């Protein structure tokens, strides 16, 4: 039986980790998902996984893009909007991690700001423009626990996430009256490649799982449209700070 098409969801960082879990889950819920990341091979794997889901789901759209290529991202999202109509959900999960506070050359800091802040700004500019015309939409910005607490030796990554949450909080207030809801999700360690590369001290099973983010989004989507939630902080039971 074909699933009821519940709309269109764009997910950045959809090639692995949190983004791929959210994309697969939303596809399973009946959304046509638009998968954005740089690595086409990994995006194709997520596409194949979705196409293998038990019930028929709307065919995903694979968009291999670097989100720092703002003009292309803007054009592609506008094409998607023309082809498939309303954008119901945007999940911004793409980001880079970088260790340390002042140890990197300035240009490395600029690179992470470019991905974690400027590219998010650009995609939000395009998508909120479309959502304002629709007078509807839900935006989930995957920030981090590091957006709420300045970890020692975490100033580079943390500052990009503080900025992202700051932008999100303003949009939360600006867009709610226009029918668009925006929520920051701020998880601690999540069991993905990023946590491993960043040297998490936790075992896989002690971390937040990518599906916890998916289920948080499902919970928010199930609330009535009268409810706005600015942010959700997810911590690990084993190491609450
Ligand atoms: N894992 C954690 O412990 C943790 C904790 C808190 C918050 N977060 C946040 O959760 C989000 C997802 O992280 P994750 O753990 O799933 O990390 P991940 O496994 O490293 O995945 C990051 C994703 O971002 C994409 N990406 C990076 N730069 C990109 C670019 N320039 N253009 C397009 N896509 C790009 C990557 O795909 P390509 O390489 O294919 O482009 C990948 O799909 C991030 O915002 C991260 O900061 C993670």
Write out the DSSP string of 11-55: EETTTSHHHHHHHHHHHHTTEEEEEEES-HHHHHHHHHHHHTSSS
Residue 158 · residue 146 · CB < 8 Å: yes
Q: How far is the CA of 94 from the centre of ligand 1 (A)?
A: 4
Q: Is residue 134 classed exposed, middle or buried when 0-12, 13-18 and 19+ CB atoms within 10 A define those classes?
A: middle
Q: What was the pLDDT predicted at 4?
A: 62
Is the beta carbon of 234 within 6 A of some atom in ligand 1? no
Closest to 21 measured CA to CA, from 236, 147, 185, 137:
185
Closest to 25 measured CA to CA, from 64, 53, 59:
53
Q: How far is the CA of 95 from the centre of ligand 1 (A)?
A: 4
Does residue 137 belong to any structural domain of this protein? yes
The span from the CA of 185 to the CA of 162, in Å, is: 12
Does residue 240 belong to any structural domain of this protein? no
Q: What angle do CA 141, 147, 149 make, to 5 degrees?
A: 155
- The b/e string for 12-38 (b: 16+ C-beta within 10 A; e otherwise) is bbbbbbbbbbbbbbbbbbbbbbbbbbe
Residue 88 · residue 137 · CB < 8 Å: yes
Does residue 15 belong to any structural domain of this protein? yes
Q: How far is the CA of 90 from the centre of ligand 1 (A)?
A: 15
Does residue 241 belong to any structural domain of this protein? no
Ligand 1 binding pocket mutation candidate from 43, 47, 74, 95 (most atoms within 8 A of CB): 95
Does residue 182 belong to any structural domain of this protein? yes
CATH number of the CATH domain containing 24: 3.40.50.720
pLDDT 10s digit of each residue in the chain, 241 long?
555 668 999 999 999 999 999 999 999 999 999 999 999 999 999 999 999 997 789 999 999 999 999 999 999 999 999 999 999 999 999 999 999 999 999 999 999 999 999 999 999 999 999 999 999 999 999 999 999 999 999 999 999 999 999 999 999 999 999 999 999 999 999 999 999 999 999 999 999 999 999 999 999 999 999 999 999 999 999 888 8
Q: Residue 50, SS3?
A: helix
Strand 180-187 versus strand 231-234 pairing type: parallel
Does residue 239 belong to any structural domain of this protein? no
- Whether 157 is catalytic is yes
Is the beta carbon of 117 within 6 A of some atom in ligand 1? no
Where in the sequence is the domain holding 122, given as residue range(s)? Answer: 7-234
Does residue 1 belong to any structural domain of this protein? no
Is the beta carbon of 124 within 6 A of some atom in ligand 1? no
Q: How many domains does the chain have?
A: 1
Is the beta carbon of 42 within 6 A of some atom in ligand 1? yes
Does residue 189 belong to any structural domain of this protein? yes
Q: What is the pTM of this model?
A: 0.98
Is the beta carbon of 63 within 6 A of some atom in ligand 1? no
């Amino acid at each position: 039986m074909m699933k009821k098409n519940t709309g269109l969801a764009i997910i950045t960082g959809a090639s692995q980790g949190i983004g791929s879990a959210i994309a697969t889950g939303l596809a399973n819920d009946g959304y046509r998902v638009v998968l954005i990341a740089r690595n086409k091979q990994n995006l194709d794997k997520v596409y194949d996984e979705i196409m293998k889901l038990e019930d028929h789901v709307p065919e995903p759209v694979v968009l291999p893009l670097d989100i720092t290529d703002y003009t292309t991202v803007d054009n592609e999202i506008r094409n998607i909007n023309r082809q498939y109509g309303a954008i119901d959900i945007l999940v911004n999960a793409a980001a880079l991690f970088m260790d340390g506070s002042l140890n990197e050359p300035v240009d490395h800091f600029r690179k992470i700001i470019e991905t974690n802040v400027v590219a998010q700004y650009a995609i939000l500019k395009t998508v909120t423009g479309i959502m304002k015309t629709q007078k509807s939409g839900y935006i989930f910005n995957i920030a981090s626990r590091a957006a709420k607490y300045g970890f020692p030796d975490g100033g580079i990554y943390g500052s990009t996430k503080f900025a992202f949450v700051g932008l999100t909080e303003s949009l939360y207030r600006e867009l709610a009256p226009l029918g668009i809801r925006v929520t920051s999700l701020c998880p601690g360690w999540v069991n993905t490649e990023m946590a491993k590369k960043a040297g998490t001290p936790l075992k896989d099973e002690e971390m937040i799982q990518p599906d916890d983010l998916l289920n948080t989004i499902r919970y928010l989507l199930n609330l009535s449209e009268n409810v706005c939630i600015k942010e959700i902080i997810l911590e690990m039971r084993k190491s609450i700070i």
